[in-house]
């Protein structure tokens, strides 16, 4: 169950980085809306990370949380913000995903 909580926490990390990017692109009340979304998703992500670390090793949980956030943020950037998707960028994302899966298998 705590692995599921950790994955959800990582997805909320993707949410807060996306809100941050959208806030940067807008102004006025729209930017405020995105900043409120940023604080809500950031708080939720950190709370869920805390919950996951109650039974998972801190180092593993943190590495998986940041890995999910990094991979998800890159994917959102490529799909929604037209960031580059060259070979090396995708190669290292696959490497990062492999590392996250590896940590799951070696953690007790």
Total domains in the chain come to 1
Domain span at residue 28?
2-106
* Element of type H or E holding 27: none
Q: What is the pLDDT of residue 8?
A: 98
Residue 10: is it exposed, middle or buried by C-beta count within 10 angstroms (0-12/13-18/19+)? buried
Cα-Cα end-to-end distance for the chain: 13
Q: pLDDT tens-digit profile of 50-72? A: 999 999 999 999 999 999 999 99
Q: Check residue 85 and report its DSSP letter.
A: -
Q: Which residues contact 16 (CB under 8 A, 6 or more apart)?
A: 37, 38, 41, 42, 45
Q: pLDDT tens-digit profile of 75-108? A: 999 999 999 999 999 999 999 999 988 988 887 6
pLDDT average, residue stretch 20-24: 95
Summary mean pLDDT of the chain: 95
pTM for the whole structure: 0.88
């Amino acid at each position: 169950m705590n692995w599921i909580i950790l994955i959800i926490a990582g997805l909320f990390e993707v949410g807060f980085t996306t809100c941050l990017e959208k806030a940067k692109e807008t102004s006025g009340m729209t930017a405020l809306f995105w900043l409120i979304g940023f604080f809500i998703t950031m708080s939720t992500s950190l709370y869920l990370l805390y919950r996951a670390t109650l039974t998972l090793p801190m180092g593993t949980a943190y590495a998986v949380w940041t890995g999910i956030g990094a991979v998800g943020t890159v994917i959102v950037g490529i799909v929604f913000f037209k960031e580059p998707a060259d070979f090396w960028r995708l190669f290292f994302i696959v490497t990062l995903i492999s590392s996250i899966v590896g940590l799951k298998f070696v953690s007790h």
